Structure 1
């Protein structure tokens, strides 16, 4: 009989390398490794050879960068998503894409299960498995870190390293970088190790070597740089007059933003599973795009449409963070967001300087800003009669006067 097939989300790191071998032995199964290229750069080097040597029967290394930028990052930025006021959701938004492709591979290969190396304490296990539940409920999910027999065999990294050495699995594990990282097109995150102490100063000069995508603001150029971003229907389609794809925009903005020390965030956040965790993030390109998009909306989006969309930002961001990308409520909000963006078209000019992003101009062929109406001088358009404001204020003040009168009688 043919062996059962399991598709494993594989990064080539210590955890997933050990898990690959462990799954093959424990389940006597054929393991198909899958790695999504979503902007990890040189982290992908040598993965195919390593996966096959570790015991995978096959490995998929799929370039998903275009899809990631176009169908995940851009729609999320149209929604203005920001988790707990700081986090641009760089890791969160990548997981549904990875899980989606895993499901596609599992079906194409006739696999009965997918597996991942996320721990039982984190958010990623939820994101992977909620996506699988939404797209392929017939598939089983194997999460080794939640299995008692796996945790008993590997109570710590020393046991995993010993297992890897015993089975000839090449791994790079040392105390030189006592933290974990996760990189993609939108950001790179750092957590664990010394960062588990929230008093630890990740911005100190002694920790400069930790950062990958950006220089510290102190080391950024002394000369400011101006940047123009062109938008069509809420999407950035060009920089400094040159047309670009979403992927090209993200790559260019990461380089420019990183040079100027833009996009570093250090926060303690609330995980979906109930605990707080400390994360340090570099999101240079995303921070520029997020800022520019908001500036474009300020000129072109109807006030009440903007306020309605903004009232949903916290909900939308939480859905993404918690792994509900393919949930019907996220899709419903996205439909409203897409409608809200139909006139978000024009050009934003920004000034970048030592970690700061400053507005330097905005224009649009569908601008809702009318200087004739807004002017403090005489209104040549006659569109606004200042005398009308008196009745407007009286009507809005009526309930306040009634409430105040009642309260005064109560206090007598």
Structure 2
């Protein structure tokens, strides 16, 4: 338990079995007044039933917060991350990681609004999310009390949780009475599935695990070709139609789903030290990453592009490990955002059976000079003989090394 008495706590509440048990546990073990926060992040499920469940658990109507934060999520978290072309361990587009700081931020804001002295979450003691939530809490409200039930309570099994739920008349849907085949987390950027049937990394994930994409082999035999317009590194339109951030990502998700794009079977290194196997689906994000790199390829200087690529793994680790509100992430973000001032234009993309291919890119700020690169005689003065001195200067240290080795 927390070391000091808790009067009011803001709980990140989904309305599912685990957080419903946590709600009642906070009431019975802490004697605390519970405030629930349920975020619509585009998870694709109806969230309004969480209100009825919270009311049934004795939460006051004024203490139930259900909010549509999809636009804020994409505009202020997803898009800034994609400006950096962020990929963790070479593959993972960080769909779960990037949602946690927004939830933590709103919990702290609500705690200030209602005068709560604590916040709580439903993350387990083995995963990354406990770190992400709590680093967010402390980064925004350093003296807040954090209650992490999975690290505190005495429940040793799922059966014990179910017994607690039945004792306190917490509604349990039939599929929750047995062992779930795997656990799922979803938002507008991605869905992730972990555990149970996925725990053996040697065994292929069953097709029923995938919920955001059709199988690539079942995708249409004809490619889908689209254009994406960018302004300062962010996508703003598809096929010439301007869209809000969340609307645009939703459309990309639909296009990705229909073409079998964005599946990933990954064994990753968790921040807490263990390896974990997960199946991720990020259809819209996979398209967006390819398109963004496409527009950068003609608008970013080589030095800036290569420096971004060097900084990206550090940025990705900060996001993955929960340091969104850290000064180093903000420093990197400032550099990344500065690099995007001329990253505007249009990219043409081909979507076909799980693949995303950039097939065209144009920009008023393009650095691509056809006269420079043509094999024909160009208009721009480029003396081929200059390359000889350039090469000799760069080879100087190699020649010195080679002569020393020959002497030896």
Q: Tell me which interval the TM-score lies in, with the shorter structure as reference length.
A: over 0.9
What is the Cα deviation at residue 177 of structure 1? 4.3
Q: How many residues are treated as equivalent by the alignment?
A: 400
- Cross-structure match for 2:305: 306
- Cross-structure match for 2:101: 96
Moved over 6 A (4+): none
Equivalent-residue separation in structure 1 for 2:19 and 2:390 (angstroms): 64
Contact 1:92 1:320 in 2 (8 A): yes
Task: For 1:181-200, list aligned pairs within 5 A.
Answer: 181-200=184-203
Most deviating of 57-66 and 89-98: 57-66
Q: What's the CA shift string for 1:341-398, capped at 9, x where partnerless?
A: 111111100111110111211111111000001101111222x211100000010000
Equivalent-residue separation in structure 1 for 2:6 and 2:74 (angstroms): 37
- Cross-structure match for 1:360: 359
Q: What's the CA shift string for 1:98-144, capped at 9, x where partnerless?
A: 00000000011111100111111100000011111110012110001
What is the Cα deviation at residue 54 of structure 1? 2.0
Is 1:37 paired with 2:45? no
Most deviating of 264-273 and 154-163: 154-163
TM-score (norm: length of structure 1): 0.95
Aligned counterpart in structure 2 of residue 4 of structure 1, from 1, 4, 7: 7
Is 1:48 paired with 2:47? no
- Cross-structure match for 2:390: 392
- Cross-structure match for 1:247: 246
Equivalent-residue separation in structure 2 for 1:227 and 1:81 (angstroms): 23
- Cross-structure match for 1:266: 265
Contact 2:8 2:115 in 1 (8 A): yes
What is the Cα deviation at residue 298 of structure 1? 0.4
- Cross-structure match for 1:137: 142
Equivalent-residue separation in structure 2 for 1:39 and 1:171 (angstroms): 24
Task: For 1:65-214, list aligned pairs within 5 A.
Answer: 65-147=70-152, 150=153, 152=154, 154-172=155-173, 173-175=176-178, 177-202=180-205, 207-214=206-213
Aligned counterpart in structure 2 of residue 15 of structure 1, from 14, 18, 30: 18
Equivalent-residue separation in structure 2 for 1:177 and 1:225 (angstroms): 36
Equivalent-residue separation in structure 1 for 2:85 and 2:292 (angstroms): 8
- Cross-structure match for 1:403: 401
Gaps of 5+ in 1: none
Gaps of 5+ in 2: none
TM-score (norm: length of structure 2): 0.96
State the Cα RMSD in Å: 1.3
Equivalent-residue separation in structure 2 for 1:215 and 1:389 (angstroms): 51
